[in-house]
Amino acid sequence: MSQTIYWITTIFLFVAGVYLLAVMERWITYGRFDLLAPFKRSLALLGQESVTPRKMDKVFYETAPLLFIVATLMAAMVLPFGKGSPAIDLATGALFINAALAYIMVSILMAGWAPNGVYAMIGGWRFLGQLIAYSMPIVMAITATVMRAESMALTEIVNSQQSLWNIIYQPVGFLLFYLSAMAMAFLPPFDLPTAPGTLAGGVWAEFTAERLLVFRIGRLALIMTLSLATNVLFLGGWYGPWLPDYLWTFLKTLAVAASFFGVSRFAVRIRYDSLLEWSWKFATPAALFNILWVGILLLL
């Protein structure tokens, strides 16, 4: 019985989170608050004519949006919302979210290749470069949290933060994870694959109507998943006074997502070669330093 309640609560909170994120993105980015906007946008996209490019790779074109949303939701499935009775508590949870989210890059690259258009293609290749930049910091930051919890199970990682949250224990790791998560969701300072100003939509330029709708829902779900992951790995998951555990997870996740949008509103888009350079010159050594830092703290 409690399992059923857990399932219903989790799914409801996740869907509500995705909806609120859609409202929030509009509110923070454009200053327009409209609770009905997500529905209007969805209807507009469903009403749009479905145009497909003429000489395309059909398999990649059809698979890319689906793979995007499937990979995102697979990662979201293993992230715990509350302490009650987590439905899926994989022993390799921390590794699993990493493996599932690696397919985001594959999906975007497929979407870039498929339409046989130059802008989309450049967007796709750029995102591959972006993966090379963000992947090392994010993986090493996760490893440092695993070291502290002595387990890859995500519930154990949350439990290890009962006395002190990881954001204070390993601030460098948090910063790296935060920025890498933004790069993974291609939010504005790192929105190289879509790049509205320079690439005219990039990888999404050739996707219309229902496929674009799936991409957009997937993108919001991805931001929700990454905020949830930030919360679980660094912000103490469900721990907090007074309120019930599910609500704490939900509120913290929304706060992280709001900060993502807030940061991306004021940031200037970075060039992909600068991104790669800074990532390997500063972020990767910082991530290694973070592992050493946690290692020494654990031995004390």
Site for other proteins in 70-109 (CB under 8 A): 70, 73-74, 77-78, 87-91, 94-95
Per CB under 8 A, the list member of 61, 119, 127, 174 interacting with other proteins is 119
Task: Note whether 138 and 176 are within 8 A (CB).
Answer: yes
CB of 206 to other proteins, least distance (A): 6
Residues 6+ positions from 8 with CB-CB distance below 8 Å: none
Query: Which is closer to other proteins, CB of 66 or CB of 255?
Result: 66
Per CB under 8 A, the list member of 109, 110, 111, 146 interacting with other proteins is 146
Residue 244 φ/ψ, nearest 5 degrees? -65, 160
Q: Output b/e per residue, 219-245; b: 16+ Cβ within 10 A.
A: bbbbbbbbbbbbbbbbbbbbbeeeeeb
Name residues contacting other proteins, limited to 120-139 (CB under 8 A). 120-122, 125, 128-129, 132-133, 135-136, 139
CB of 253 to other proteins, least distance (A): 19
Task: Note whether 177 and 137 are within 8 A (CB).
Answer: yes
Query: Which is closer to other proteins, CB of 29 or CB of 89?
Result: 89
CA 7, 9, 10, 15 dihedral sign is positive
Name residues contacting other proteins, limited to 168-207 (CB under 8 A). 200-201, 205-206
Binding segment for other proteins among 67-75, 181-189, 225-233, 254-262 (CB under 8 A)?
A: 67-75
The mark string for 246-265 relative to other proteins (x by CB under 8 A, - otherwise) is --------------------
Query: Which is closer to other proteins, CB of 16 or CB of 243?
Result: 16
Name residues contacting other proteins, limited to 208-247 (CB under 8 A). 209-210, 213-214
Per CB under 8 A, the list member of 104, 111, 140, 154 interacting with other proteins is 140
Name residues contacting other proteins, limited to 150-169 (CB under 8 A). 150-152
Residues 6+ positions from 29 with CB-CB distance below 8 Å: 261, 264, 265
Amino acid letter for position 90: L
- Please give the torsion angle defined by the CA atoms of residues 114, 115, 121 and 124, in that order, rounded to the nearest 10 degrees: -50
DSSP symbol at 268: P
Query: Which is closer to other proteins, CB of 3 or CB of 29?
Result: 3
Q: How many residues does the chain have?
A: 300
* DSSP H/E element including 248: helix 245-266
What is the residue-wise DSSP string for 128-141? Answer: HHHHHHHHHHHHHH
Site size toward other proteins, by CB under 8 A: 72
Per CB under 8 A, the list member of 9, 26, 37, 53 interacting with other proteins is 53
Rounded Cα distance between 56 and 112, Å, is 11
Map tokens 């390997």 to a residue: 280
Name residues contacting other proteins, limited to 2-31 (CB under 8 A). none
Name residues contacting other proteins, limited to 277-296 (CB under 8 A). 277, 280-281, 284-285, 288, 291-292, 295-296
Map tokens 């509103």 to a residue: 265
Query: Which is closer to other proteins, CB of 152 or CB of 179?
Result: 152
Per CB under 8 A, the list member of 9, 52, 159, 259 interacting with other proteins is 52
Name residues contacting other proteins, limited to 28-47 (CB under 8 A). 46-47
Residues 6+ positions from 284 with CB-CB distance below 8 Å: 136, 137, 140
